[in-house]
Amino acid sequence: MDPISHLDPVLEALRRQLTQNIDRLRRSGQLGASSASAGTVERAAGAAEDLEAALRRKLSAIDKRTAEGRIRATRAFVETVLAAEFGEGLMTDPGVGDMINEISGALREDAVMRERIDNIVLAFS
């Protein structure tokens, strides 16, 4: 199974969640104005390969056999995708950790998204 081929629906859901969270966090003052905007960033042509390598590196170190491990893997997945999509600079914003937690939690609450993400992260074993 090619885990990257299953990323598009998950990435689209992640982008929607990110846009909502960035807007909300900016309005509340918890996220700096210099952070990337979901509408202004486009993926580079080779981003899928870079993303796959980054996901493989981060996810291979997590034991995904337990529910806690899959939760950690989901958070690592969200963090890795955001860094690949918006640059590592986004990760330095003080509000980004809370945003990653919220997005990860929202994705795990949705049964379809949880199954998709679990399938993706398990492929990186």
d(C-alpha 80, C-alpha 56), whole Å: 10
Each residue of 12-51: pLDDT tens digit?
777 777 777 777 767 777 665 544 444 434 444 455 558 8
Domain contains 103: yes
Domain contains 36: no
pTM over 0.75: no
Domain contains 52: yes
Show the CA angle centred on residue 23, arms to residues 20 and 26, nearest 5°.
Answer: 145
Each residue of 42-101: pLDDT tens digit?
444 455 558 888 889 999 999 999 999 999 999 999 999 888 887 888 888 888 898 899
Domain contains 41: no
Is residue 113 within 8 A of residue 107, CB to CB? The reply is: yes
In the block, which residue shows the tokens 């640059």? Answer: 87
Q: CA 24 from chain center: how many Å?
A: 18
Q: CA 11 from chain center: how many Å?
A: 8
Residue 71 has a pLDDT of: 96
Domain contains 34: no
The tokens for 30 are 């918890």
Domain contains 116: yes
Residue 5 has a pLDDT of: 57
**Would you report the helix, strand and coil content of the chain in percent, each value rounded to 5?**
75, 0, 25
Structural domain for 50, as ranges: 3-27+46-123
In the chain, the number of structural domains is 1
Domain contains 40: no
Residue 2 has a pLDDT of: 55
